[in-house]
Amino acid sequence: MEPVESVEKYRPLWVEKYRPQTLKDVVADKTIIEKVTAWAKKWQSGGIQKPLLFGGPPGIGKTSLALALANTFGWEAVELNASDQRNWQIINRIVGEGAFNQTISDEGEFLSTEAGKLKLIILDEVDNIHKKEDAGGEGALIRLLKKRPRQPIILIANDPYALSPELRNLCDMVNFKRLDIRRIVKVLEKICSAEGVKADKKVLEAIVRNAGGDLRAAINDLQAIAEGREEIKIDDVVIAKRTQESDVFKVMQKIFKTYSTAVHNEAMLLDESPDDLIMWVDENLPREYIGEDLLMGYKVLSRADIFLGRVRRRQFYRMWKYASYLMTVGVQQSKREIRKGFTRYQRPSTWQMLFRTRSMRERLKSILTKISRYSHLSTKKAYSEMYFLLRKLISEAEIPVAASISAFYDFSEEDLVFMTGDEKRAKEIAEYIAKYGLHRVEDESFLSTFDRKVEAVEGVEEELERFEKKEDDEEMEEAVELKQEDSKTRKRAKKGKTKDATLDTFFS
Amino acid sequence: MIDAIVEGDVLKAVTKAMVALVSEARFHFKDDTLHSRAVDPANVAMVIVNVPRDSFEVYKVDEEKIVGVDVNRIYDISKSIKKGELVELILENETTLKVKFGSVEYSVALIDPSAIRKEPKIPNLELPAKIVLDAGEFRKAISAADKISDHVIFRSDETGFYIEAEGDVDRITFHMSDAELIEFNRAEAKSMFSVEYLKEFMKVAGTGDILTIYLGNNYPVRLIFDVADGKAKVEYILAPRIEAE
């Protein structure tokens, strides 16, 4: 073997090299460390505890804390991370067997829980298990945790809320927050002095800010920049800039202020899907182009949107390429000249708008669902053919008519407010409905029975009541319902011609 | 340069024994034995494999060597070796192991030994009871226990050796008296173990193979199988279950 290679091979990652050995060295909130220590102490004294669930963004020391905990208490650590193949069989082996048996350590010693020598099972990236091909990983885990494992377990997840509530309830949650920049800088300073690298605090701060509160990323960046050097300067940091959201603005600038077609590649490196990117271009296009340029720009952009629509409908993602090319280079090339001056690019307002109008959209959707159900239409047709008609009628027709329509569709008062845009009118209609007890008749066959009965007792209400009392058990059920409804409908029947709120009279 | 010729059954038995616990392992080509040991990923059991020099037809080791092996691969390959057929293992460099049998030659890529979990020491265990029996009997007992429970109790006293399993409603007791056992020291011992592991272990041996059990009180058990006509020795050390409170 060549000597160069062996040097290469044994150069450790600083993240591993400077991983905290004991709890003292761990960078984390005091409350977290206290909680975890208390948990471990209870285990140590023989009490079986719920597993812990560490949640929080990546690179802030969740795994480090778990390993340091095992180290501090002299426990054997068994780690299962996402890089391993993790189907339910392996979970069964490691958790199912590991947590119910005593331990034979890596060193080959027998460790007994009776002597306080425990085994800490660390399941890293739990939020990824159920997404793996072998479904049921999470189910297997839940079944095992319910059996009360006899060895301490720590589950680690970046997004604990992606787990099923059942699994979360079996664990005690510990939430990790993003680390303070100053604390990360301190860690980097320590590493620098240990590695003999001279670095200004400002330089380290730049690295940390670049890594966005991610300690692991910060250490990795530091290693990339500083390894094998004696001093690092602020200029070195710029080269190694991490790709981040701020780069969207750069891409916007390249689209609107240059003719360089390399922008397409750059846009592809962003963490934005074409669906999102088109929003960015759309938002900022009118801030930049005017006159014919604007027209041409939108023409190209709309073509891009057509492709996005086709991607969605046909699930044919290869067409993303056309869409993304059109929305970047296409828009870029459609200008006749570059406008001078600085433009402040904005984030798309569409998302905020969608968020604001969410309740409205949901209201409309529930109204359309009702129309589609009672008029036997698709919601699409309900919107294109019925909705506007009904809205006009409810807003402008006489109150009794409007009321019978809204009763037929079972519209709530909120629905009416939404449709009429007039609270007073909505209230009037609602009151009319309440007053006359207008309601939907769900069961059509029930209606025919009703008609027969009505004929039988036509006219005399007292008779009706007597008649009901005589009803035999079989028909009792119907009758009771009828009793209340009837008396009301009777009244209305006398007054006008409306039966229960069907629209027959109205439409015929 | 290492060149070793051995019966295919030996290679099969050895790799099968390792596969029960790990997927990668370090093999030592020592002057007098081929040796390997590993702890399973759940840190519950250990496997130790020894094939003495005498079991090989040819065993040429210029220099003692440790190689990292993907045991799953070798086990897969060894499955296609016919019974009684000889297999030749050739190690010319650090990166490939040649496995030759019949007219087939496999070149298997080796794993850098430093990338494999480091090997355990063999623990010193105080195990009073020694039981020697036919592995086939043991196999029957474990298969029966597997049907009703996930754990079994190994127990020995002067009346004999017991394997007991308790399900929700049924109960199985397997008993062999002194007379039925090949060797027995009548010592008292009792420990509980996971069937899951025992099930894997028993696959390495068949009827006629000799199994030696060393048992303690709430302590690991040593199971030593003489496999492939006594040409190889497979030892498992299994940690006991934690007793329910």
Give tens-digit pLDDT for A146-170: 888 889 999 998 878 778 888 888 9
Same domain for B166 and B233: yes
Q: What is the pLDDT of residues A215-238, one digit of tens each?
A: 888 888 888 888 777 888 777 776
Same domain for B105 and B9: yes
Query: Which residues of B make CB contacts under 8 Å with A?
Result: 39-46, 94, 117-123, 125, 193-194, 196-197, 218-220, 237-242, 244-245
From B11's Cα to the closest Cα of chain A, the distance in A is: 25
Final residue of a domain: which of B89, B113, B137?
A: B113
Backbone angles phi, psi at A116, to 5 degrees: 75, 15
Query: Which residues of A make CB contacts under 8 Å with B?
Result: 1, 48, 76, 78, 80, 92-94, 96-98, 100-110, 112-114, 119, 150-151
Report the topology of domain A14-175. Rossmann fold (3.40.50)
Of residues A31 and A443, more confidently modeled: A31
Same domain for B106 and B7: yes
ipTM of the prediction = 0.85
Whole-prediction pTM? 0.63
Of residues A77 and A492, more confidently modeled: A77
pLDDT at res. A6: 40
pLDDT at res. A492: 47
In the three-class reduction of DSSP (H, G, I as helix; E, B as strand; rest coil), residue A390 is classed as helix
Calpha distance A170→A172 (Å, rounded)? 7
Q: What is the pLDDT of residues A4-16, one digit of tens each?
A: 344 444 567 888 8
From B95's Cα to the closest Cα of chain A, the distance in A is: 11
Q: B194 and A94: CB-CB below 8 Å?
A: no
Query: Quick check: B139 pLDDT over 50?
Result: yes
Query: Quick check: B216 pLDDT over 70?
Result: yes
Q: B43 and A119: CB-CB below 8 Å?
A: yes
When computed from its CA atoms, the radius of gyration of chain A, rounded to whole angstroms, is: 35
Calpha distance A22→A9 (Å, rounded)? 27
Calpha distance B216→B188 (Å, rounded)? 8
- Kindly report the number of other CB atoms within 10 A of residue B97's CB atom: 23
3-state helix, strand, coil in chain A (%, to 5): 65, 5, 30
Query: At CB < 8 A and 24+ separation, what contacts does B160-167 make?
Result: B160/B184, B161/B129, B161/B131, B161/B133, B161/B213, B163/B138, B165/B195
Task: Please check whether residue B118 lies inside any domain of the structure.
Answer: no
Q: What is the pLDDT of residues B151-179, one digit of tens each?
A: 999 999 999 999 999 988 889 999 999 88
CB-CB neighbors (< 8 A) of B219 in chain A: 110
A10 Cβ neighbours under 8 A, 6+ residues apart:
none
Domain count, chain B: 2
CB pairs under 8 A between A and B: 85
Same domain for B43 and B135: no
Question: How many residues are there in chain B?
Answer: 245
Residue A497: pLDDT band (50, 70, 90) is very low
pLDDT at res. A500: 53
CATH 1.10.8.60 fits A181-236, yes or no: yes
User: How much of chain A, in percent, has pLDDT values that exceed 90?
Assistant: 15
Query: Nearest-CA neighbor of A379 among A393, A361, A398?
Result: A361
Query: Quick check: B5 pLDDT over 90?
Result: yes
Strands B45-52 and A231-232: unpaired
Q: B239 and A48: CB-CB below 8 Å?
A: no
From A19's Cα to the closest Cα of chain B, the distance in A is: 19
CB-CB neighbors (< 8 A) of A106 in chain B: 39, 43, 117-118, 120
Residue A441 near residue A501, CB atoms below 8 Å: yes
Domain that holds residue B55: 2-113
Query: Quick check: A2 pLDDT over 80?
Result: no
Calpha distance A123→A139 (Å, rounded)? 15
- Kindly report the number of other CB atoms within 10 A of residue A36's CB atom: 23
CB-CB neighbors (< 8 A) of B25 in chain A: none
B/e letters for B155-188, b = 16+ CB within 10 Å, e = fewer, are bbeeebbbbbbeeeeeebebebeeeebeebeebe
From A165's Cα to the closest Cα of chain B, the distance in A is: 27
Query: Quick check: A97 pLDDT over 90?
Result: no
CATH of the domain at B97: 3.70.10.10
From A46's Cα to the closest Cα of chain B, the distance in A is: 10
Same domain for B76 and B154: no
Q: Enumerate the β-bridge partners of residue B157.
A: B160
Q: B41 and A105: CB-CB below 8 Å?
A: no
Same domain for B207 and B109: no
